[in-house]
């Protein structure tokens, strides 16, 4: 009787193991299928080569925003100069890490006007500027400007040429990346 019971338990265990093997094989096939789908999607995105934000070569959207003193500042005020337009937020850890590099960039490259559109509150922006010692305009951003520029996240940069045309766009976090984005050394 004991032997029969052991045989039944062994058969039951073998059946469970067989079912688990079939399930694992099915999962393996499904994972391969998903991997192929992801690779196809990534390849089509790579081929489209769509940069983040606005397309390059178009006129930078016009905007007027208040600075920390309440004065209205327009992007057109920088006409005839290269502008490194920065979208940032005082609550963004990546932005906080980037601030010293941006300050160094602004000091090293006065030929490029740095303009920051910050999504912080007035108090947050004021504390950020005082803490970092920024000497370039920090404007209080709004959702309309962020939407117009299709900002995918922060810190995000646009290099606007002297002619008002967007020359480059992208994320950056070091002095070297900022210089590469701005096309300066």
CATH of the domain at 128: 3.40.30.10
Q: Check residue 39 and give its pLDDT.
A: 75
Banded model confidence at residue 74, pLDDT cuts 50, 70, 90: very high
Average pLDDT over residues 161-167: 97
Pairing of strands 82-88, 156-160: antiparallel
Query: Are the beta carbons of 147 and 137 closer than 8 angstroms?
Result: no
Cβ-based neighbours of 64, under 8 Å, separated by 6 or more: 72, 73, 74, 75
Q: Is the residue at 177 inside a domain? A: yes
pLDDT tens profile 88-138: 999 999 999 999 999 999 999 999 999 999 999 999 999 999 999 999 999
Cβ-based neighbours of 122, under 8 Å, separated by 6 or more: 68, 140
Q: Supply the range of the domain harboring residue 156.
A: 64-182
Q: Is the residue at 80 inside a domain? A: yes
Residues 81 and 14 in one domain: no
- C-alpha span between 151 and 171 (Å, rounded): 10
Q: Check residue 97 and give its pLDDT.
A: 95
Residues 42 and 69 in one domain: no
Q: Check residue 47 and give its pLDDT.
A: 53
Residues 31 and 69 in one domain: no
Query: Is the pLDDT confidence value at 44 over 90?
Result: no
Q: Check residue 43 and give its pLDDT.
A: 64
Residues 86 and 147 in one domain: yes
Greater confidence, 7 or 159?
159
Q: Is the residue at 57 inside a domain? A: no
Banded model confidence at residue 185, pLDDT cuts 50, 70, 90: confident
Q: Is the residue at 58 inside a domain? A: no
Residues 35 and 69 in one domain: no
Q: Is the residue at 30 inside a domain? A: yes
Q: Is the residue at 116 inside a domain? A: yes
- Rounded to 10°, the helix 175-182/93-108 angle is 60
Q: Is the residue at 75 inside a domain? A: yes
Residues 10 and 68 in one domain: no
Number of structural domains found in the chain? 2
Query: Is the pLDDT confidence value at 82 over 90?
Result: yes
């Amino acid at each position: 009787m004991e032997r029969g019971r052991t045989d039944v338990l062994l058969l039951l265990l073998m059946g469970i193991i067989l079912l688990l093997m079939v399930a694992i094989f099915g999962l393996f096939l499904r994972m391969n299928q998903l991997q192929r789908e992801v690779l196809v999607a990534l390849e089509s995105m790579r081929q489209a080569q769509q940069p983040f934000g606005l397309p390059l070569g178009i006129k930078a959207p016009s905007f007027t925003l208040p600075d920390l003193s309440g004065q209205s500042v327009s992007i057109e005020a920088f006409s005839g100069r290269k502008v490194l337009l920065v979208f940032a937020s005082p609550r963004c850890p990546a932005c906080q890490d980037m601030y010293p590099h941006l300050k160094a960039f602004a000091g090293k490259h006065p030929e490029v006007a740095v303009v920051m559109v910050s999504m912080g509150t007035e108090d947050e922006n004021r504390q950020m500027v005082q803490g970092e010692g920024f000497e370039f305009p920090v404007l209080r951003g709004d959702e309309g400007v962020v939407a117009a520029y299709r900002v995918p996240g922060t810190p995000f940069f646009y290099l606007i040429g002297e002619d008002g045309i967007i020359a480059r766009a992208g994320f950056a976090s070091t002095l070297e990346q900022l210089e590469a984005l701005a096309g300066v050394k």
